[in-house]
């Protein structure tokens, strides 16, 4: 059975499909501001009512939604996101569970300002008002570890190198399972491969409009974890689980279209990038420090953003090397002209991350910001003096610096809205303060016997 969660579905066709597929439960999903997927399960008998009236829930217990006077909220299912969850059915194909991604509404029916999906929708609307359709394609990486006594370990589940393709290779079997599952939910998988580190994988799926891509990232993470779980393995999107080897990034390819044409493409330009493309790129570079708080939102994110592991540290762009924050991949066809932002990691809230990036790019277009020259050298190897000469700044070095950058950036704050900004800063400051007070193994190893 193939679900087609990327086409135009309405209430009636969803009800028909659910009946045909013997769906017994429907999970109504949304994400909190930290990007954690929340869901309320309803029996299929309630689905029609859920479409007609929505489902009420108490928002005050959701991270970032806390505002007592607004605690009653309503989930409004988006029929377009209907999908049967292949990992929840029974062997004979009966008793299935489906999911629908929802918009969060307040008591008076307005979109709830702190619903991350709404934040992205608002930013996409802004792009549309400027004449642009926004597209994004992610490259999520993740690790798969063995479990012992039901607990995740740091033991890679395969000892496969970059091109290990033996037919009995555990890693390729698992990746095949994951991909088949994703295809069943409607994903179009473009490429998948073993990443540099042991136990590390990357699966790339087709780019789509911003909302679909953010929904897909959320679904992708659940699907990968669920399939790993079925194999008694643990998949993690933690950005840097192991010291000294590559972390997991989630590079995002970005483009704008205008009247069906790629607005970033200009065949006459040296890098095939249009004025709109350069302004967008310049906007993302200008707001990069504040964006980082959103695209790299956990303490551990900053353990990945260090030299030597193909993750960016410097705020620069390049048409060649992968050490830059933004890369302009060579476009094979005009419609595939795009820029690749290499800082995001897969622990981010995909809705807020895409909103922040798009908002920054649109600001660059509105203010007609000029992009600096591309840097063709390996930026990791540039001296401090050279970086100064080229005007290359660094990304925030830790969560605290990123939060401080967000506090300074009114444009990104406007994109997120007042409530998300304040709740996000509050939650992240708490996280940082808690971390700061911890004594790490590194300190024990280094100091216990020395002092």
Rule CB under 6 A: which residues touch ligand GLU? 141, 246-249, 304, 309-311, 322, 342
- Dist. CA 442–CA 303, nearest whole Å: 13
Q: Is 70 a catalytic residue?
A: no
The piece of 199-207, 253-261, 336-344, 376-384 that touches Mg ion (CB under 5 A) is 199-207
Measured from the CB atom, the residue of 27 and 201 that comes closer to Mg ion is 201
Tokens of 158: 């395969």
Measured from the CB atom, the residue of 156 and 403 that comes closer to Mg ion is 156
Choose among ligand GLU, Mg ion, none what residue 407 binds, the Cβ cut-off being 5 to 8 Å by kind.
none
In the bound complex, what is the minimum distance in angstroms from residue 143's beta carbon to ligand GLU? 10
- The single residue of 201, 266, 342, 409 carrying the catalytic annotation is 342
In the bound complex, what is the minimum distance in angstroms from residue 323's beta carbon to ligand GLU? 10
Q: List b or e across 18-57, with b for residues whose CB sees 16 or more CB atoms inside 10 angstroms.
A: beebebbbbbbbbbbbbbeebbeebebeebeebbeebbeb
In the bound complex, what is the minimum distance in angstroms from residue 247's beta carbon to ligand GLU? 5
Measured from the CB atom, the residue of 197 and 403 that comes closer to Mg ion is 197
Choose among Mg ion, ligand GLU, none what residue 310 binds, the Cβ cut-off being 5 to 8 Å by kind.
ligand GLU
In the bound complex, what is the minimum distance in angstroms from residue 139's beta carbon to Mg ion? 5
Tokens of 82: 């209907």
Angle at CA of residue 161, ends 192 and 187, nearest 5°:
10
Number of Cβ atoms within 10 Å of the Cβ of 397: 13
- Dist. CA 340–CA 333, nearest whole Å: 16
Measured from the CB atom, the residue of 322 and 407 that comes closer to ligand GLU is 322
Q: Is 198 a catalytic residue?
A: no
Q: Is 58 a catalytic residue?
A: yes
- The single residue of 141, 198, 266, 286 carrying the catalytic annotation is 141
Q: Is 322 a catalytic residue?
A: yes
Q: Does 363 bind Mg ion (CB under 5 A)?
A: no
HEC profile of 152-218 = EEEEECCCCCCCCCCCCCHHHHHHHHHHHHHHHHCCCEEEEEECCCCCEEEEEECCEEHHHHHHHHH
Q: Are 286 and 222 in contact (CB under 8 A)?
A: no
- Dist. CA 278–CA 373, nearest whole Å: 10
- The single residue of 10, 53, 58, 188 carrying the catalytic annotation is 58
Choose among Mg ion, ligand GLU, none what residue 225 binds, the Cβ cut-off being 5 to 8 Å by kind.
none
The helix (run of H) or strand (run of E) holding residue 255 is strand 250-258
One character per residue 201-220, x = contact with Mg ion (rule: CB under 5 A) = -x------------------
Choose among ligand GLU, Mg ion, none what residue 363 binds, the Cβ cut-off being 5 to 8 Å by kind.
none
Residue nearest to Mg ion (CB): 202
Three-class SS state of 252 = strand
- The single residue of 76, 266, 340, 363 carrying the catalytic annotation is 340
Q: Could you tell me which of 232, 245, 433, 274 has the C-alpha nearest to residue 368?
A: 274
| Pairing mode of beta strands 133-148, 324-327 | unpaired
Choose among Mg ion, ligand GLU, none what residue 199 binds, the Cβ cut-off being 5 to 8 Å by kind.
none
| Pairing mode of beta strands 339-341, 314-318 | unpaired
- Dist. CA 434–CA 416, nearest whole Å: 25
In the bound complex, what is the minimum distance in angstroms from residue 200's beta carbon to ligand GLU? 7
| Pairing mode of beta strands 339-341, 324-327 | antiparallel
Choose among Mg ion, ligand GLU, none what residue 364 binds, the Cβ cut-off being 5 to 8 Å by kind.
none
Three-class SS state of 140 = strand
In the bound complex, what is the minimum distance in angstroms from residue 224's beta carbon to Mg ion? 15
Helix, strand, coil percentages for the chain (3-state, nearest 5) = 40, 25, 35
- The single residue of 32, 76, 198, 202 carrying the catalytic annotation is 202
Q: Is 141 a catalytic residue?
A: yes
Q: Is 202 a catalytic residue?
A: yes
- The single residue of 67, 193, 322, 387 carrying the catalytic annotation is 322
Measured from the CB atom, the residue of 304 and 423 that comes closer to ligand GLU is 304
Measured from the CB atom, the residue of 76 and 141 that comes closer to ligand GLU is 141
- The single residue of 133, 146, 195, 204 carrying the catalytic annotation is 195
Measured from the CB atom, the residue of 102 and 341 that comes closer to ligand GLU is 341
Measured from the CB atom, the residue of 88 and 322 that comes closer to ligand GLU is 322
Q: Is 195 a catalytic residue?
A: yes
The helix (run of H) or strand (run of E) holding residue 128 is helix 116-129
The residues near 171 (Cβ < 8 Å, ≥ 6 apart) are: 144, 157, 158, 160, 164, 194, 199, 201
- Contacts with Mg ion, residue ranges (CB under 5 A): 202
Which of the residues are catalytic? 58, 139, 141, 195, 202, 251, 322, 340, 342
């Amino acid at each position: 059975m193939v679900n087609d969660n990327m086409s135009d579905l309405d209430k009636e066709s969803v009800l028909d499909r659910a009946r045909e597929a013997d769906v017994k439960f429907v999970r109504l999903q949304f994400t909190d501001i930290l990007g954690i997927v929340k869901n309320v399960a309803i029996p299929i008998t309630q689905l029609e009512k859920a479409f007609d009236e929505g489902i009420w829930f108490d928002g005050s217990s959701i991270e970032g939604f806390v505002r007592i006077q607004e605690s009653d909220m309503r989930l409004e299912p988006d029929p377009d996101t209907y999908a049967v969850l292949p990992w929840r059915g029974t062997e004979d194909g009966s008793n299935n569970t489906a999911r629908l991604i929802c918009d969060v509404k307040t008591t008076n029916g307005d979109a709830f300002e702190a619903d991350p999906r709404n934040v992205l929708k608002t930013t996409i609307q802004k792009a549309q008002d400027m004449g642009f359709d926004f597209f994004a394609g992610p490259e999520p990486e993740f690790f798969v570890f063995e479990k012992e006594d039901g607990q995740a370990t740091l033991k890679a589940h395969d000892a496969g190198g970059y091109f290990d393709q033996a037919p009995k290779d555990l890693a390729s079997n698992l990746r095949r399972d994951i991909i088949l599952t994703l295809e069943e939910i409607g994903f179009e998988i473009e490429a998948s491969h073993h990443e540099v580190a042991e136990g590390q994988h990357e699966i790339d799926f087709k780019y789509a409009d911003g909302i679909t891509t953010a929904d897909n990232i959320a679904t992708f993470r659940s699907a990968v974890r669920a399939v790993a779980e079925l194999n008694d393995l643990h998949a993690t999107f933690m950005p840097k689980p192991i010291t000294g080897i590559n972390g997991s990034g989630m590079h995002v390819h970005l483009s704008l279209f205008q009247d069906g044409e790629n607005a970033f493409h200009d065949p006459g330009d040296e890098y095939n990038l249009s004025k709109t493309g350069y302004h967008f790129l310049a906007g993302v570079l200008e707001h990069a420090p504040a964006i980082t708080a959103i695209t790299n939102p956990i303490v551990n994110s900053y353990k990945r953003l260090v030299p030597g592991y193909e993750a960016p540290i410097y705020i620069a762009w390049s048409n060649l090397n992968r050490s830059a924050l933004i890369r302009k991949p060579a476009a094979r066809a005009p419609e595939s002209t795009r820029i690749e932002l290499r800082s995001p990691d897969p622990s981010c809230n995909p809705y807020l991350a895409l909103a922040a990036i798009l908002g920054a790019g649109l600001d660059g277009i509105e203010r007609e910001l000029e992009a600096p020259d591309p840097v063709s050298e390996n930026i990791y190897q540039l001296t401090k003096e050279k970086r100064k000469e080229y005007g290359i700044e660094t990304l925030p070095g830790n969560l605290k610096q990123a939060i401080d950058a967000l506090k300074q950036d009114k444009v990104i704050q406007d994109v997120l809205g007042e409530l998300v900004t304040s709740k996000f800063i509050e939650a992240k400051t708490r996280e940082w303060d808690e971390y700061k007070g911890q004594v790490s193994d590194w300190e024990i190893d280094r100091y216990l016997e020395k002092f």
